Amino acid sequence: MTKYIIANWKSNLDINKAIYWLEQLEEYFFDVSAKNFFRNHEIIIAPPYPLIPVLAELSRSLKVKLSVQDLSPYGAGSYTGAVCAQNLTGLNVNYALLGHSERRRLFQETPSIVADKLIQAWQADMTAILCLDQEEIEPQLQAIQSQVENWQEKKEQLIVAYEPAAAIGSGESADVEQVQTVIEKIRQIYHQPAVLYGGSVTAQNTADFLQISDGVLVGSASLKTADFIRLLEAIKEASQ
């Protein structure tokens, strides 16, 4: 099964730094063994919105995917400041990160708002990466699921990312065994095709988390290409 490696840049970097980042990644893939190994992985970059048009071209040639970090709960129309799925047409964006812990905490996103965003993403044929930040994930997932009618039909376009709030940006990743328990629970109850882990993932711990999950969501350690490439190298080495 495909493993996902997602770089969530949050509100960091600018266009020059982003281009440099992708050029460095391109250089890393000059190494044929790296290029071949990561063919079986889905590398996804979630940049700030304004960087997407420029990254769209570069990402096509590099075969990395793009995700937005958020999406409007509405369609096209009079919603000042919001970016909806239709605005992204033609920009090579296949994924939408939804319900991130920072969105819930700092922007007051409720389960019903997250559910509306999920519906918008699916209507635009995007794959949603739904973030859950509570140790008790069932009520959090249930609160969203109960508001989305065609959940079962769309499950192939849903990736769940378990990111315990305390582990995000703290430098203290969650306990691998505890994460494994949660991930197995999500897989059993929801027959979820892909479940990822996020929260202080680094080159040092990424292989452990990849072993028990379908991928990792990386924030701080994705901002500098050197760190991100170290993380990719650690994944490659662990598989040998």
Report, in Å, the least distance between residue 107 CB and ligand PGA.
14
H-helix or E-strand spanning residue 3? strand 3-8
Neighbours of 78 (CB within 10 A): 6
Compare residues 147 and 212 and give the one whose CB is closer to ligand PGA.
212
The residue annotated as part of the active site, out of 42, 100, 102, 109, is 100
Q: Which of the residues 173 through 212 are near ligand PGA (CB under 6 A)?
A: 198-201
169 touches ligand PGA (CB under 6 A): yes
- Closer CB to ligand PGA, residue 138 or residue 227? 227
Is 41 annotated as catalytic? no
Report whether 159 contacts 127 (CB < 8 A): yes
Nearer to ligand PGA, 18 or 223 (CB): 223
Q: Which is nearer to ligand PGA, 85 or 168 (CB)?
A: 168
Count residues contacting ligand PGA (CB under 6 A)? 13
Q: Is 149 a catalytic residue?
A: no
Residue with tokens 């239709």: 86
Match 């028990």 to its residue by tokens: 212
CB 144 within 8 A of CB 111: yes
The residue with its CB nearest to ligand PGA is 219
Nearer to ligand PGA, 109 or 163 (CB): 163
Task: Provide the minimum distance between the beta carbon of 79 and ligand PGA in the complex, in angstroms, as a whole number.
Answer: 25
Would you count residue 69 as binding ligand PGA (CB under 6 A)? Answer: no
From the candidates 42, 102, 109, 163, which is the catalytic residue? Answer: 163
Alpha-carbon Rg for the chain, nearest whole angstrom, is 17
Burial zone of 178 (CB within 10 Å; 0-12 exposed, 13-18 middle, 19+ buried): exposed
Q: How many helices (H) and strands (E) does the chain have?
A: 10, 8
Residue with tokens 């306990």: 175
Q: Which of residues 7-26 bind ligand PGA (CB under 6 A)?
A: 8
CA distance 65 to 56: 9
Among positions 211-230, residues that touch ligand PGA (CB under 6 A) are 217-221
Residue 31 CB partners (closer than 8 Å, separation 6+): none
- Give me the active site residues, please: 100, 163
Residues that bind ligand PGA (CB under 6 A): 8, 163, 168-169, 198-201, 217-221
